[in-house]
A and B are shown apart, each in its own frame.
Chain A
């Protein structure tokens, strides 16, 4: 069984007991425990089930690389899935639950998938996509649904807060092991402003567990002294529980700080995302031990040798009473020695190397541990817990030579430097054949804006160096490369550095590891099918070999086909073993097969940290018109339009939205309506060349417009497509005011600036966006003039202020600019007043209009009225593929101009062509409203077997004015097909029949607006 040892545990405080629950069961641990350590102390070895086959899984690792021990943490607004038990610090009241099982961890129905494993081979998803549809629906989907999903999706809103923090440092050191500490100290002593971050709560990394001495004292003392020295330096910032999440262009990086995951009662944000610019980044990220690929290497109780050592030394936890060590290198002997020292039994060390190990092996033997050279594991016995191993020759095919009873297998396949952060921004790797690992190529560091490399690797993360007699991954080399990296980083930034004397180190010499990619070397199919590479995604040696047989030669393709390395651990344990397996299957060398791309973040970071403060109201600013509060107070139903919110309609008590819209339309058509049109874009275009400039921007002629007059204009992109429309007013000889659509103000302003700055920079034109300087109110309806006349003595008669003219008028003492333009077909004035008096002026108009039953109307009434008149709307009738000619707007395209943006494009053969979908009105045969976006079907089918189409609905409304449904649409050669009836199948299963008609449904001659 796994249990707490009587003594030991350098990270725990036995005086402070902590209570928590796992799957509802009450358990206790000590302060300083990780959840994984505490679970092991409570004999909970099985911590979850795998993703695909729901196989029982126990903890494998002791840190961020853990693939198996993922849990649902917390409840309600604090719930979070997929949290690694190995990096979760326990606290009083913690609630954790295991994942991927039903109904319970011990008894799981989904484990049936394991029985189906023959039918769930590599490329399962790809292969099944080729099956007929019914197979998916009735056969695969139920299986996939049952087995899919890591953890649960949170149901409640996140109850915590998060923040972003911007920081600038000369040197950022990632990793607070002995290498990181030494690199930070070297850079700091040179005077650089340094940030040192460590993802765990502890400084020193794993060096104190691994042993050795620095300057004649235990490593732990050296760590404490170095941390004290760093803390005393004013130019060095130290942060624990902070992970280097990603390295990006030009020295940008993200630090993910977990402020109170370990202390949820504390105040303040839960996570802080540091957005850092660094002159140099030192990756002192250490190394991760590799599993060995033998049959049953996923049975709970099979763990990394280093993890077994960590649980014993750091947490005083015994993962089991009898530990068999299996290795291809010397380091794993440290585990055997530590386990033995803790009073547990080590029945054997299986060393796959025929020649065995060095000094550490001798020490193990001296302690009475049995060492078997050239041997490996043929098979692990046990289902939910290791019961023993069958021992075989590594060089053979798995013939069992001996059975050994044990409850833990501590495995080590060698070490892989953590090169993720080095690689994130393009740092290249080289293959080190001697240590069978990829390591950073210092000649190919990611480069900054100045073209110089900005990332340096330090310690074990740098791999084994060749510029020294001490080649290896030992303590001395770690300190030496760390000092070198810290000093070099500071020197490259111009700081004066001096030689740093290295401490003296005593450590064991190690003999070379020997790569073992499959155990035993000649393992047959049966064994390979039980040898796991990727625990989380259930990828086995046999899956990768199958992929290779099926022609997947590229590592990136194999990864996607088998899902190797695609789980939340991003293949931290499986990557190299998978690559090697693929390389062997292809008969190529590992560096030829290459490696997959490492992408940030290093381990998953919370969605909350990514969002930071940008949530709810602060996610995006809300733009308010001067009359916004009035709309709010008067029950407006809001419609979001860009960052604005506009009243859709103003429903009265008990009134439906449709009824409100109908009432607003009828009141406006019959008497008087008011619309808040402030959101319309208003751009002032000014200068001696303003007319010439607008002639290029609009399809029609603007330079001939007389001051005091207005003209409707269309704007196209250089590709010919309609991008915006609006009314242009000429204020004086040099000045125009261009109205844009509500969403278009910023976009069109930028469009104008781009052409002025980058193409016609010698033209004398200035553009200013004055959208928010004015409140704009449309006064609409047969009584519009009468109500304005109540507010002024000035002449606003039809003669003095005709249709498509504007005039400055003082209305009730307010300086107003009155544009007589109409988007409704009614007598209509749009009145612009300074934004500061907008709200008061709106109130004055309501008062003055009372006798005419003045009715504020919203965007939907606006839309209905414009559709009744056949006016197009950008975004409804246009979608980025529509040219003005498609919309019957030839009248707004100047034939006299040599050039305008889009003119050349519109001369292309497929645009200057009647064989296009063009604007028409559509009227259902029975008077109902057509479904929005419905397609008109044609005879026959296309190459994909889909029904051919010949048009679509672009706008559709019920017209209260006409008492029937009206619509506009684009129909193939539509204007030539008046009276034809088309079929529009709806998503409701019904087919709507509609007749092609003129798009102007109401007041075709414009008698109402020209009064």
Chain B
């Protein structure tokens, strides 16, 4: 059972307070998008062994969504940050680089 920090209310809490929401930073494709783009948006997900970016919701707490960067193999948490961004902020990327030099995830590094 993971321990995560909610960046909104500042609480450090057990995983049971949160609810996972899958891969972070998906770009929505709506009407008019190609079949390929829409398929990618709806179904294709990263499944890395290592650095990963996820959405979580503090469902049994403040109710807010946020992002978490963590390692799926070692369960190390690099940081949590706002849901209202379209890419990981620099300080999160730096924190990952410090521990996992040369990491890559989708178009981010």
Contact = CB atoms under 8 A, between A and B. Distances in A.
A426 B75 CA distance: 10
B30 A449 contact: no
A597 interface: no
Nearest to A756: B65
B21 A249 contact: no
A899 B55 CA distance: 24
Contacts of A759: 28
A898 B55 CA distance: 28
A944 to B, nearest CB: 26
Given A753-B63, A754-B21, A903-B30, A451 B1 contact: no
Interface in B1-24: 1-3, 14-15, 21
Interface stretch (A117-125, A682-690, A904-912): A904-912
A757 B59 CA distance: 13
A908 B76 contact: no
B31 interface: yes
A718 interface: yes
Contact of A451 (B38, B65, B76, B83): B76
A1005 interface: no
B3 A758 contact: no
Contacts of B38: 904-905, 908
Given A248-B1, A898-B31, A719 B65 contact: no
B76 A450 contact: yes
Interface string B38-72: 10001000000000000101010001110000010
Nearest to A248: B1
B57 A754 contact: yes
A761 B84 contact: yes
Contacts of B92: none
B107 interface: no
A697 B28 CA distance: 15
Contacts of A449: 2-3, 75-77
Contacts of A907: 31
B106 interface: no
A177 B55 CA distance: 44
A638 interface: no
Nearest to B85: A761
Given A753-B63, A754-B21, A757-B84, A249 B75 contact: yes
Given A447-B75, A450-B76, A904 B30 contact: yes
Given A249-B75, A250-B75, A451-B99, A758 B65 contact: yes
Interface string A313-344: 00000000000000000000000000000000
Contacts of A212: none
Nearest to B78: A451
Contact of A718 (B21, B42, B57): B42
A758 B76 contact: no
A114 to B, nearest CB: 45
A803 B13 CA distance: 50
Interface string A752-773: 0110011101000000000000
A750 B76 CA distance: 28
B42 A447 contact: no
Contacts of A451: 71, 74, 76, 99
Interface string A879-923: 000000000000000000011000111011000000000000000
Interface residues of B, number: 29
Nearest to B32: A904
B33 interface: yes
B2 A758 contact: no
Interface residues of A, number: 28
Contact of A447 (B3, B55, B63, B74): B74
Given A449-B2, A757-B64, A905 B42 contact: yes
A250 B16 CA distance: 13
B28 A250 contact: no
A908 B75 contact: no
Interface string B81-92: 001100000000
B84 to A, nearest CB: 4
B35 interface: yes
A761 B83 CA distance: 9
A899 B74 contact: no
Interface in A417-456: 426, 447-451
Nearest to B33: A904
A22 interface: no
Contact of A249 (B1, B28, B29): B1
A900 to B, nearest CB: 9
A757 B65 contact: yes
Interface string A3-32: 000000000000000000000000000000
A718 B57 CA distance: 19
Contacts of B64: 757
A252 interface: yes
A907 B34 CA distance: 11
Contacts of A904: 29-33, 38
Contacts of A898: 31
A757 B1 contact: no
Given A250-B3, A904-B33, A448 B75 contact: yes
Interface in A246-260: 248-252
Contacts of B57: 750, 754
Interface string A230-261: 00000000000000000011111000000000
Given A250-B1, A448-B75, A758 B31 contact: no
Interface centre among A249, A277, A753, A904 (most CB of B within 10 A): A904
A246 to B, nearest CB: 11
B2 A903 contact: no
Contacts of A450: 76-77
A770 to B, nearest CB: 15
Nearest to A452: B76
Interface of A: 248-252, 277, 426, 447-451, 718-719, 750, 753-754, 757-759, 761, 898-899, 903-905, 907-908
16 contacts: A249-B1, A249-B15, A250-B3, A277-B14, A449-B77, A450-B76, A719-B42, A750-B57, A754-B21, A757-B84, A758-B21, A758-B55, A759-B28, A761-B83, A761-B84, A904-B29
Given A449-B77, A754-B57, 17 more contacts: A248-B1, A250-B1, A250-B2, A251-B3, A252-B14, A277-B14, A447-B74, A449-B3, A451-B76, A719-B42, A757-B65, A758-B65, A758-B84, A903-B30, A904-B29, A904-B38, A905-B38
Chain A to chain B: the 8 pairs with minimum beta-carbon distance, closest first: A451-B76, A761-B84, A252-B1, A757-B65, A447-B74, A449-B77, A250-B3, A904-B31
